[in-house]
């Protein structure tokens, strides 16, 4: 069984993330979406447990996808789960530059751990979690940018 990890902050998960997760689920037998807390500090807009809940709701329709939270090194998580690959989406050159560095670091930490970079689908190239957080702050509806159950919860929270 080939296991892949889709890592990220997911603060919050967007349709762009979900697109990468769905495409990973078609490539690998088992996919673990890993919500990471960088440096052990839970400093996002949404606490890690909430981000994890959003990921679980958004991926409920994918039978070979599970979700987990991890507070340490991604390579340690991949080793614990027996994963052969990390999968990340790339939208532009600066994403690639960053992900290339991360891929080298992670392969150095865990030899044999490959990073698979999926080009973002065109409709998601111009959106990010950073933009989602900004729109949430200003009370905007995010139906066209976030997975339906997540957008619905955020809309209800506003009423």
Work out whether 74 is an interface residue with ligand PNS (CB under 6 A): yes
Among 5, 9, 14, 146, binds ligand PNS (CB under 6 A): 9
The catalytic position among 23, 24, 88, 129 is 129
Work out whether 147 is an interface residue with ligand PNS (CB under 6 A): no
Q: Are 27 and 4 in contact (CB under 8 A)?
A: yes
What's the closest the beta carbon of residue 37 comes to ligand PNS, in angstroms?
8
Work out whether 38 is an interface residue with ligand PNS (CB under 6 A): yes
C-alpha 80/C-alpha 96 separation (Å) is: 26
Distance in Å from the first CA to the final CA of the chain: 45
C-alpha 74/C-alpha 156 separation (Å) is: 34
Q: Are 106 and 73 in contact (CB under 8 A)?
A: no
Name the one range near ligand PNS by CB under 6 A: 7-15, 60-68, 131-139, 145-153.
7-15
């Amino acid at each position: 069984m080939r296991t892949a990890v889709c890592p990220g902050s997911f603060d919050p998960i967007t349709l762009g993330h979900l697109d990468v997760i769905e495409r990973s689920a078609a490539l690998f037998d088992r996919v673990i979406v890993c919500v990471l807390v960088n440096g052990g500090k839970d400093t996002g807009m949404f606490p890690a447990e909430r981000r994890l809940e959003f990921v679980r709701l958004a991926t409920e329709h994918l039978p070979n996808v599970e979700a987990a939270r991890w507070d340490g090194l991604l390579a340690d998580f991949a080793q614990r789960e027996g994963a052969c690959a990390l999968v990340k989406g790339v939208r532009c050159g600066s994403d690639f530059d960053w992900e290339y560095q991360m891929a080298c670091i992670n392969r150095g930490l865990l030899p044999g751990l490959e990073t698979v970079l999926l080009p973002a689908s065109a409709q998601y190239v111009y959106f990010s979690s950073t933009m989602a957080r900004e729109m949430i702050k200003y009370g905007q509806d995010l139906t066209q940018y976030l997975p339906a159950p997540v957008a619905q919860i955020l809309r209800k929270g506003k009423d």
